[in-house]
Chain A
Amino acid sequence: MTETLPSALTILGAGPAGIMAAYSAAHAGVDVTLIDDNPLPGGQYYRQSPPEFSFANSLDGKSGRDDAEAVLGKLDHPKIRTLYNTQVWGVFDDRSLALASGEQSYLLPSDKIILASGAYDRPLAFPGWTLPGVFGAGAILRMLKTQWVLPGKRILLAGLGPLQLALADALIKAGAEVVCVAEAANPFSHITELPKFWGHWDRLSEAWSYTATLRKHHVPLFYNHAIIAANGRDCVESARIARLDAQGYPIPVTERQYDVDTICLGYGLLPSFQLAAALGCELRFDESIQWYAPVHNRHMETSRPGIFVAGDVTDIAGSKVALLEGQVAGLTAAYQLEYLSKAELDKQLTPVFDELHHLDRLVKTLQTIYAFRPGLNKLAKDDTLLCRCEEITCAQAKQALAEGAADLHQLKLHTRAGMGYCQGRFCSVLLAPLVAEMTGKPLETVRPFTVRPPIQPIPLRVLAQGISQLIDK
């Protein structure tokens, strides 16, 4: 594997957190290498349309976000080297990153590392969830706002959190028929939390405008409802939703069925912590998402010195927090590399910490209202797949657990669940509650699968080339 010149600071992920981390460190004088597996920077939030498309309003091609040009423009800095279309597939020699780009493998020794690898849609296992036409909310957002194609004609949205309202609004405005929005939370049962939105007027007016769009188009918005089944032969033909009880379990007599060709699932996000785990960073169990995220201190440093996290990879808190956390990580890395004095670091961080503190109350409120509810882990029937890749059903997983598998690792050895293409990203969070239930252990003690290279599947020819060069070295 070709070993490239060592990098003082490598940042993984060119979304809001990664961009601000790169800019903050580069501005202080650090030579930064910024890596992303997409062809263009922006991440999910500032995702850009392909350069071949042109727009009446040029901002539409740059995610449509008001601050997109300002944020993306920060990458025009002589100290920032960008490597796009590049996957990180492993970690060797403590902190050398194995990269794959096209047909080539590279080894990039890195002194400091900032992980800004973002998050992905949480899977929800219910009968029919693997049918074509059932999409994660991120997939639909990307189709709509960067490829400018509707995913279908009649769409049902089901999920947890305010983002699906934004998506419903965008789908309606683009001409899709939205049949209903099923929101698993009930914001009105958290009435004491509502005053905490005081001062966050932009968020409140945004939410108001989205619900106004739904009302105008007579789209019902059901609070305290979840999807319980999708039906169809080769793709989705109908969807069923039901009201939830206090624990989040569906109440059978409240079922409603809709004929739809598309289902959008937005049950929140899970941190893409795989690289952090591969680098040996400690993970914590997050109560609000009921899953794992890397541990960090106030300066965004993980349990491993010189390795940082920023943005949704650790705190599912949205783009504003990600931009700020990116600054904290970038500036602190610059300080550790002796480009800033302690006094300069503290001076630059003070306003950033103040802003983070201001946003923290809002983030905590949203996390309380939209916390993942345990009943949503119980929608699968015996023949529902929990592992999409290896096609392992709920019944097969239960049987392995009954035969003595006591954790996710043993479940993997018994059934192959977690050994497929997605590397356990989707099934781990579905299998863990079953492990907890069948073994009587608390969910927060069921550890995720061990992360091993390749962290993302890469073609064998690229891997083989990489390994032969690693041996030569």
Chain B
Amino acid sequence: MEKNLRIQEGITRQTPFYLQVNGEQVIAYPGETIAVALLAAGWKMFRHTNLSGEPRGMYCGMGLCYDCLVTVNGHPNVRACVTIAQPGDIVERQI
């Protein structure tokens, strides 16, 4: 786990909460996207592709490329980069 990717200087975040990601607890702060919470935890790979099984993560970061797809609370193919994390979210990396 990498703890120092969140910038601290000049910014105050609210009380963090946990996401459950493939059974593990991942910290998220209110307002963060699911993608950013995963990346801040040091997880760059979000899924394997259906065809060749190659690894993918966030790429365009603006909701256009659909490479950052994850399953959220049972809904598959949710764009992690534009989806705000909510307390108690159960996220499955599609691997």
Contact = CB atoms under 8 A, between A and B. Distances in A.
Given A132-B46, A153-B2, A457-B66, A50 B55 contact: no
Given A143-B39, A422-B66, A132 B57 contact: yes
A420 B69 CA distance: 13
Interface string B73-95: 00000000110100000000000
A444 interface: no
Contacts of B49: 391
B81 to A, nearest CB: 7
Contacts of A131: 55
Given A139-B61, A143-B36, A149-B39, A130 B12 contact: no
B65 A388 contact: yes
Interface in B51-72: 51-52, 54-67, 69
Interface of A is mostly: loop
A234 B55 contact: yes
A425 B64 contact: yes
A305 interface: no
A233 B48 CA distance: 12
Given A52-B30, A391-B49, A149 B13 contact: no
B66 A60 contact: no
A149 B12 contact: no
Contact of B60 (A38, A121, A153, A420): A121
B31 A49 contact: yes
A135 B46 CA distance: 13
Contacts of A425: 64-65
A142 interface: yes
Contacts of B51: 390-391
A149 B7 contact: yes
A294 to B, nearest CB: 18
Interface string B1-36: 010111100111110000000000000011111001
A56 interface: yes
A25 B35 CA distance: 37
A147 B28 CA distance: 11
Contacts of A135: 58-59, 61
A248 B29 CA distance: 44
B60 A149 contact: no
B66 A421 contact: yes
Contacts of B4: 175
Interface residues of B, number: 42
Contacts of B32: 50, 147, 149
A275 B32 CA distance: 29
Contacts of A139: 58-62, 81
Interface residues of A, number: 53
Contacts of A133: 44, 57
A176 B67 CA distance: 24
A86 B2 CA distance: 35
Contacts of A402: none
Contacts of A51: 31
A425 B81 CA distance: 17
B66 A136 contact: no
A133 B42 CA distance: 10
A57 B65 contact: no
Contacts of B66: 389, 420-422, 457
A426 B61 contact: no
Interface in A412-466: 420-422, 425-426, 457
Contact of B31 (A53, A60, A152, A261): A53
A234 B84 CA distance: 25
Interface in A277-315: none
B55 A149 contact: no
A150 B46 CA distance: 17
7 closest cross-chain pairs (CB), A and B? A139-B61, A50-B31, A132-B57, A421-B66, A52-B31, A52-B30, A132-B44
Given A56-B11, A120-B64, A151-B5, 18 more contacts: A37-B82, A53-B13, A53-B29, A53-B31, A54-B11, A56-B10, A132-B44, A135-B59, A138-B60, A138-B61, A143-B61, A149-B39, A151-B39, A235-B55, A388-B65, A421-B66, A422-B66, A457-B66
24 contacts: A37-B82, A53-B13, A53-B14, A57-B10, A60-B10, A120-B62, A121-B60, A130-B59, A131-B55, A135-B61, A147-B36, A148-B6, A148-B7, A149-B5, A151-B5, A152-B5, A152-B44, A153-B5, A235-B44, A236-B44, A388-B67, A391-B54, A421-B66, A425-B64
